[in-house]
Structure 1
Amino acid sequence: MADELDPRQVLELRERARDRLIPIPGVLAVGFGRKQVGEQLTDRRALRVYVEEKKPLDQVAAGEVIPAEIEGVPTDVLPIPRGRAFGTQDTQRHSPLLGGITITNLKLDAAGTFGAGTLGCFATIDGQAPRENIVLLTNNHVLATNGGQLDDTVYQPPLVGGLIDKANAGAIAKVHSLGVNGTHGYTYPGEKPVDYYVDCATAKLAIDISSWCDCNCGVSYKNALRDLTVGGRIWLEGVARAVDGETVYKSGCTTGGTRGTIADPLGSAMIGTPAVQVDNIILIDRTNPPDPLFAAEGDSGSALVNDQSRLIGLVFGGQDATEPNPQAFACHIAPALDALKVTPISTQNPPVAPAGKASTATFAPAAATLADEEDQTLRLQERARETAEGRRLYGDFLQHRSEIVALVNRRRRVTIAWHRVRGPAYFAHFAESARHPEHRIPSEIDGVSRRELLERMADALTAEGSEPLRAAITRHRDELMALVDRFDDLHSLVDGFGEHPATA
């Protein structure tokens, strides 16, 4: 009988069982999933009865014994899982951004350490126009850690010696919605409303499509999950509902890509200190033969996907390896998306670029392309800062970038010069060269050489810019003119800086 129940029937049976069992002392919650024998899940479906403490039958009063079955469905009495919310330990920076990497608001706790978490995946804000509608999806407790608020900057930091390297933490987003860390009522079509525990939030990506070159000067992202291949796929195909007994996967910052089994999609657990009971969450067992853990400290915020690469939840915590059968906890994706009013980016919901603008996302056609398409812009910036010349040039560029963009957009003389020297076309080649070292910057475009580009733009910016910008152009003009014809790509140019190591 249990195998024939559909989701609506499961919820109705669970509700009747809960009404009958919750009055029994020590019963905390009732779920519905796979029956457990010892530390192993079985293929049998059962009403999972979560209790404060599981006692031998001879120590239970006659009126408090859990029946062996209810309405023909077996019961399974289990001690309620006790765990905690997870943090993160990813050590790298990534470009383009992808699911499974470290994010932080760089706020300190009382001990003077930074909180951090995991970027789950990407989504579009419902009803908002393209370019301004791309967000990253993660847990509320990741973005709200240490007093995080709306509009706080979110960073992608490298870790050095297990500590966040604040000096090299790149800004990638601003908190858009702190979402929910608690219950959220949600109703699946044709079913009764259910209060789900949800831990979710979003941050809007720092995408910057320039009006003067149609290129993305901000962050780029990929519809992919780091260190995870599901059935030959590494990108999200859509959204689905969690089902008991199905195989699931996640990409986490600590344990990478792991596989598990849903023990109970309507489970309950105790989290935190003091302990708080959370209900209607997804309980995940490690695979047998087991991975060491399905999720651990470092995986909070990870996207939970099924065999069809469909997003079904967000990992938010779990139990430590010291437990005999450590489980991971995830919140359901449908109520989380409902609370946030977003739709995950997937092959079913690709992002739409504004008319005439460049796309900011990458959709990998096959798993093998992930490493091949890796954006090298971050590595180029890091290598440039390792040299004295690079630190001077890059530092001055960052200091004056906003003014240069404003002059190109709004000062007629600079705007005319920019277009006459084929600035947008050259900029696109410079950006592609930064992303991919093999890309060559042409020596001329439509009869305009690279040297002419730099000379005429230097003249226009010197005539219209501020005194600090004019001083920076004077400092670097001869140096840049000497370099412009020596290198055909930015990575080779930075290699040339290596003859002069940076000093502290």
Structure 2
Amino acid sequence: MELEVVGDDEQARLERLLRKHRKTLLALPNVHDADIGFELAGGELTGRLALRVYVDKKRSPRGLRVADRAPDELDGVPVDVIEFTPELQLARDDLHDPVIGGVRIQNVNKPTGGTLGMVVLHRDTLRPLGLSNHHVMQPTPVVAGDLISQPGDGVNILGPVVASDKALDCAVCALGSRASSFDIYGLDPVAGWTFARLGMKVVKSGISSGVTFGVVDGLNSERISVMPGTA
């Protein structure tokens, strides 16, 4: 839903209530923070203002002592209990296990790395593979049995390049014993595939460019120019 901007007086009133009750709220078991904001219901903001407390894991009120339960409201303002566990976001250059798209990979025989586009499945065997560009995965000239590492440290090996096409500037590598996911750094998980269409909106996640957006404005070119640098 579209949220309305809260007026100065109403926000100041909520801030006073939070200052008044913060110590009591933070003393409740499992509560690690409290703020004011819009109530959440089913993962969606309702537009209703509330005092909000954050817990690592929601528990049934029946399993808590009455004194340990968050009140339904304080001074007429609802109290919303939100399950939230802060997690440190890994960087694109870090080791990712499971392997996801949008993170750094490097051919052990190349001085520079690039971006792993995403995890895909082999059409026949459904084996997970890492998809990237030919110019990222393959040096020139191509070395037989090229190995790809993630991150680009030459130590944490994913596996060899198993197929590549210089004309299409694409390549895939084995992922070895590393777990994998269809997640892409900074984006939602991939849910399927489709053919490109003129005018289609597209998005990518690269180690240098970050998340960028574009539109398909041309198709069926027979030549691809590769510019130096990483995506």
Give the TM-score band, short-chain normalised: 0.3 to 0.5
Larger fraction in helix: 1
TM-score norm. by structure 2 comes to 0.39
TM-score norm. by structure 1 comes to 0.21
